[in-house]
Structure 1
Amino acid sequence: MSPSRTGDGDAAMMTFVANVDFVQAWVLCLLALPLLVYFMAAPHRERRAALRIPFFELAVQGSRCAPRSGAVVPRAGWLTLTVHGLAWGLLVLAASRPELVEPPVLKVTPSRDLLLAVDLSPSMQEQDFVDTRGVRVDRLTALRSVLEAFIARRSADRIGLLVFAEHPYVLAPFTLDHGALKSLMDEMQIGMAGGQTMIGDAIGLSIRVFDESRVPHRTLILLTDGNDNGSRVPALKAAQIAAERGIRIHAVAIGESNQPGQRGADFDGLKAMAGMTGGQAYQAENRQALEAIYQEIDGIETVDYSALSVRPRRPLHAWPLGMALGLLLLWHLSASTLALIAAAEHHRREAGLD
């Protein structure tokens, strides 16, 4: 073994020992108990009935047994003392409840929930945006790349995804699994929620989603390229309810607001709705502006979380306990085997003498 590997092994062992904690450390004082008993306690004595006979010598000669002292103190050998001492030490070690204190684990508790509401009405298929390669793409394709970068910067926040058009749907509840969120975002299809734009209904469903949230900061980022068209609850009324529930709304209007033959997003209505909740309203006519908007929202809605460091503890008492039981079992099995062999040898010799 090379010196470097030896040094690494010694360092790992020292680290392991340093991280072992004894919950009942006072039990280790019992390690010295067998020594105290051995040196301080009187030998065990037993009284037995005896038969006195006047012809003792003749009885000894007839039985062919040598006379012995009546008080005998058996002495254990060094192997017996070693095995039982080691077993006692392992049992005391197990009783002291050793635990391995593992490295700290950082538990992050988000303090902000973000809900992304995306308009999937047919107008989102308008190819008036340009991607990073200069290729014209539809609005949803441009939005996906911007949202992916936004989500990547919010690693400590729970983020949910809601899509809407004629009907709102929760595509992803609040989650810290941003990889799964991005996968669901890739599955968004224009027109999957209907053909009209119901902003008020989308805000209403968002409020119900936030009812399950218990964090202090709750933010809805709503993106649309159209006007509210027949929601059961008007958008401004829904925004007022959101403000009462402590939900901040940032509204993003996407696309040009004055295209010929089309109705653009109602930016004034979105601005009033966002201002009512303490949020901001933005207008994005190209991909660069859309990126800048989400970066600005990222700066306004700062990442807020609480971190708790926890050091897991792994019990180790089963190891010394199992070693002690195994050692005693092996010792007694060996002693029983040797005793049986000795008894068989004794009988064989007696049979030979007869």
Structure 2
Amino acid sequence: MLKRISKRGYLIIGLAVVIILGAFFYFVNRTQVTTTVSKTKGVQLTQSSAGDYQNVIKDGHYLTSAARGITATSLNNTLDIEDFETSLLNLSKTHFKTGRYIFQEGQYLDADTVNNLLGRQTDSNADGLNPKDNGKTDDSRNPIYVQSLSEQDFMTKSGTGLKLSGMVVGVAMNTQDAYQKEQYGATYYQTISDSDRKAYGEKIAPKIIAKIREQQGVGKDVPIVLAMYAAAPQDSLSPGAFYEQSTSKSGNTVGSWSSINDQSIVLPKESTDTSTIGSDENKGFSNFKSDIINFFPNIASTTASAQFSSGKLQSMSVTVTTQFYSPTEIDAFTNYVASSAVKYLPAAAPVQIKIQTASDLQAILFRKADDKSYTITRLS
């Protein structure tokens, strides 16, 4: 289904802030670097807290992805940027246990390879995962199905070094494709049905596996998990979610597909939403919202996005938009939000709270699962 919508401006500064914060909280929530526990040929391992992976440090620096930054620039909804990576890591933990495996940012698919995969098939790009442009601008056009890829590597110790023992690759699939009929023209949106998205993702899966196994150092017998993610539409107030997965144990064969019961919801829930998922979280969030409004009435909005897996809360992100007039007001309000959040917001999952005005980010509050208090970072 196609709808004509006027072109909207992009908030570049806001996007940059989200990307930076997403990367920061992704790293903080994943591991706590403390001391070097192994060192061979310039490779070190970090010591991690319970339930987190050790990470690879090379020559004193964190080993970043060979395709660094592509997820942040390719996903259309800024909420997906953080959720795609963190949800993928949570899924990885169900396949590669934190006590046995060492996490390494993707090193085998470089930026050029990933960009080629994310492109359309053309005479000069046979690797493109998206269909050829058929030149249509109506319901019959070939949409962009595959929006982003993210690789995570899992290593084990081998003598004095590390060896690749498994991979997880997240594939972000569009639920809505934005396009223009002419350069600088109006933006149109083409909805991709669940059935078409699912069928196309399964169709290209063997091609993805084959390309991964072509990379030097991967090998034919390294288990590769493909996890398919339904990216949220651009204007969605909640991120997308992973919906199915498959494992290639060897060669280019893709195993059977299994469903992933992930879901994201926006809080407060609409009065017409009768689903039971998030009911307790919605009640606590509503009490939190009422409490901080009573303390500081100049609040424009307070919303949250909550991510669930099989009905269990995995994380919550809260945004409080208000107006401040002095540093003392910012301090007082931030401290009150921190105490109210401890009282009303869930403790068994990580929670991030952003306090902002219409134009500036004022403070970030973060609490890991089961922590007693929030870490506060003031930005103004």
Please indicate the TM-score interval, normalised by the length of the shorter structure.
Answer: under 0.3
Structure 2-normalised TM-score?
Answer: 0.23
Greater RCO (Cα-Cα under 8 Å, separation 6 or more): 1
User: Structure 1 length normalisation: TM-score?
Assistant: 0.24
User: Is the helix fraction higher in 1 or 2?
Assistant: 1
The structure richer in strand per residue is 2
